Every structure is written in C-alpha cells, then in structure tokens.
Copies of this chain bind each other. A is one copy, B any other.
Amino acid sequence: MTIHIQEVIPRDGFQMENKFIPTEDKIKTINRISRTGVSKIEVTSFVSPKAVPQLSDAEEVAKNIDRNDAIIYVGLVANLRGAERATDAGLDEINLVMSASASHNKKNVNKTHEESLEEFAKIAEFVKGSGIKINGTVATAFGCPFEGAISEKAVMDFIRKYIDLGMDSITLADTTGMANPNQIKRFITDVKASFEDTPLTLHLHDTRGMGLANLLAGIEAGVNRFDSAIGGIGGCPFAPGASGNICTEDVVHMLGEMGIPHTVDLDEVIAISKELPNIIGRSDYPGQVVKAGKVSDLHEF
C-alpha cells in the first residue's frame, strides 16, 4: 500500500499565520510543492475575506499557480458562492467541511448540521457534470474542544449523508488533535469496513504529540491518504504554541525509515520547510527533522 501525502500548508497552514503571506510567496510555495510528489494540494479557501483575511487572495493564487497534471488541486469552500469561485478559478476539487460537533460547526461556519447539509446539496447540484470532484470533511470527528467525545454513529451517519449527496471522497479530521491511536485504529477499521469503496483521508493534528502515532494507527486500519503541512504549521486557536497539522517532512521521513512506500521527495520537502522562516516570518515551527536532520545525516566524529 502506497501512502499518499496531501499538502495543506497553503490553506490550513497559512490561514493560521498572523502575518499575511504575500500572494507571490504563496504561489511560489505551491509551485515548489507541486514538484515534490504529493498527491493533492489544498491551495486556498474560498470563504469570506473578512472571516479569513489571510486567504483573501484565493482567486489570484488559484489562477496563477503552475499546474502539475499528476496533482489534484483543492479549494476549501463553505457555501455555494465559494463553490462558484473555486470552479471559476479552475480547481480540480472542492473540499466541504462540517463539524461532527454541533457547537463546533456553529462556531466554525455559523450553521446547524441541517443548514450545512442543505448548502452541500446545492453545491453538489451545482458541481454535477462539471468534472470537479467533491471531498466531504467531517471535522472534530474524534473529539470536540467544546463537547468532548463525539458519537461514532453520528460520524458514520454524516459520511453516509455525504456519499448520498454524491461526494467522491471523505476526510475525517482530528481538528484539534484529540484522537489517540487506539481510537483511530478501532473506529477507522469500522469506517473502512462500512465504506470500503470511498477514498478516505485522515486529517491529523499533532496538538498533543500523538500525530505520528495516530498516522501509523490509520495505516494499520487501512488508510493510505493523509493531510499534512510542511513545518507542521497550522493548528487550532485553542492551543496557542501547540503543534499544528502533522508535519509533512516528519511524516515522509518516518515512512521512509520504516520502509513504507510513498511518493514524496523528502529532501525537497525539507528544503521547502527550511525556507519557511522567509515565508512566514518565524522559525519556531514544530517540524523536527528540519532541526535534527534525517537519521541518515551522519556527523563527523
């Protein structure tokens, strides 16, 4: 089983930075990521510039990147207007997000579950026949920072609803890093058994240090698609200073050390991570391999 890495730094990473990343830097970074062997890139978010000012240049970014035909370019979308914008910008895939937790969904997109699903139905109708794919994300699928434990049955029901709406693939997101490896292995084994024909991505955060262990638990449960962010940036506003998304170069390095097949050029990903201080204006990002070097980087005696 080959593991597919889906890079989310342009969206989940850059949107959490205090500094607005210049459009030109975003485009350069995405173009460089396009040459690393990742399978998908979440390019930007087509939401209100008031809600996410860091990604207010969504169209300009999406329209001006160099496209690699081997890569699926994704835009996060919150409503029909966003889907129209992502389509106009020529992206391959739309990512729709609803939180399994009602309170988190209200906080995140100011919608009830019913309102989110109604909007998703309109988007699915709009996209139909266009060739654009839809990925449905269930956020807070492993725990909610307001409500705690999440009903696995509820998550299963949302996946079923997504598939009924015609979505092509599913992402389960550990939005605030609350999952543990036993939970991932047990629950995802069930999910894979119930929805074996639907491509499944795990979107993991390393908020409490369990990110890479959770990824391995996901692989054991049969998952071969993972979102990650170079440098491990991104994350949630409830844990200032905590780690964000699982770190692309740390993931790829571990897979390589373990002999697990993947398609990513580790050295190039590390090189991009080393450029991050020039892009995000800070060097305190969580990535470990970029600080310690690869296991194979030996030292002079």
A contact set with B: CB distance below 8 Å: 103, 106-107, 143, 145-148, 177-178, 180-183, 206-210, 212-213, 216, 238-243, 247, 250, 253-254, 257-259, 284, 287-289, 291-296, 298-301
The reply to whether A208 and B250 contact each other, CB–CB distance below 8 Å, is yes
Q: How far is the CB of A172 from chain B (nearest CB, A)?
A: 17
Quick one: given A147-B298, A180-B257, A216-B213, are A206 and B103 in contact (CB under 8 Å)? no
Q: Note all chain B residues with C-beta closer than 8 A to A284.
A: 284
Copies in the complex: 2
The reply to whether B208 and A292 contact each other, CB–CB distance below 8 Å, is yes
The reply to whether B299 and A146 contact each other, CB–CB distance below 8 Å, is yes
The reply to whether A177 and B292 contact each other, CB–CB distance below 8 Å, is yes
Chain B residue at minimal CB-CB distance from A210: B254
The reply to whether A288 and B212 contact each other, CB–CB distance below 8 Å, is no
10 closest A-B pairs by beta carbon, nearest first, are: A242-B292, A239-B292, A180-B257, A209-B288, A209-B250, A213-B213, A182-B258, A242-B291, A241-B291, A207-B292
Chain B residue at minimal CB-CB distance from A107: B301
Q: Note all chain B residues with C-beta closer than 8 A to A259.
A: 182
Quick one: given A258-B181, A288-B206, A292-B177, are A298 and B148 in contact (CB under 8 Å)? yes
Q: CA separation between A282 and B247, bound complex, in Å?
A: 24
The reply to whether B147 and A181 contact each other, CB–CB distance below 8 Å, is no
